[in-house]
Amino acid sequence: MDSRTALVVIDVQADFCAGGALAVPDGDAVVPVINALARHYQTVVITQDWHPANHVSFASQHPGQDPFGTIPLAYGPQVLWPDHCVMDTAGAALHRDLHVPHAAMIQRKGSNRLIDSYSAFLEADRTTRTGLDGWLAARGIERVDLCGLATDYCVAWSALDARRFGLEARVIEPACRGIDLEGSLAASWQAMMAAGVARVASV
């Protein structure tokens, strides 16, 4: 791959895979695909969903609410999730078989108790930057190729924000899996298409 394109590997963590707290259907299947893909990139970023145990996105923090419902928060509607990717727990670890030794950057996100962050670039308040845009810009990156979990949440939000920051973005579909809550997978592809994100089967 050319040196102006980075691979961004989204949230390939134990909790999003088989046996995890928020397992994405067939999530483990992305691991060998990503391991092979990553060899073609000089610049690889890995993201980790990384929440405090009392994170606002956890249904457990909202008495009477169940996982997968939606509540209004100050910054907008928030889907409530099972407790997942609690910082420094086994569930938050990268998948044990993910093998990308040359990844130079691990971007953690969602660590502010009061603000979720599906996106690797901007938290859910749509204002707070993780700093990844600056890191990529400093390295002359003009395009990101995205893969990982989950297509319709963290991959999609990251791809959309990449476009906001002026990057080209491609989502490598065979290297992603979705959660698909109430049509969220189709809706996320619609939004990505509209924003000029390329949906590709290979690169």
What part of residues 78-117 is at the interface with ligand VGL (CB under 6 A)? 81
Question: From the candidates 15, 17, 49, 109, which is the catalytic residue?
Answer: 109
Q: Binding to ligand VGL by residue 161, rule CB under 6 A?
A: no
Place of tokens 């928060």: 73
Pick one of ligand VGL, Zn ion, none as the site partner of residue 121 (Cβ within 5 to 8 A by kind): none
Query: What letters, b where the CB count within 10 A reaches 16 and e where it falls short, cover 116-145?
Result: bbbbbbbbbeeeeebebbebbeeeebebbb
Query: What letters, b where the CB count within 10 A reaches 16 and e where it falls short, cover 37-46?
Result: bbeebebbbb
Only one of the segments 62-70, 124-132, 133-141, 146-154 lies at the binding site for ligand VGL (rule: CB under 6 A); that segment is 146-154
The torsion angles phi and psi of 198, rounded to 5 degrees, stand at -85, 135
Minimal distance in Å, beta carbon 102 to ligand VGL? 23
Pick one of Zn ion, ligand VGL, none as the site partner of residue 15 (Cβ within 5 to 8 A by kind): none
- Tell me which of 7, 8, 11, 78 binds ligand VGL, using CB under 6 A: 11
Pair of tokens at residue 83: 């407790």
- 13 and 94 in contact (C-beta within 8 Å)? yes
Minimal distance in Å, beta carbon 98 to ligand VGL? 14
What part of residues 25-54 is at the interface with ligand VGL (CB under 6 A)? 49
What residues are labeled active site? Answer: 11, 109, 154
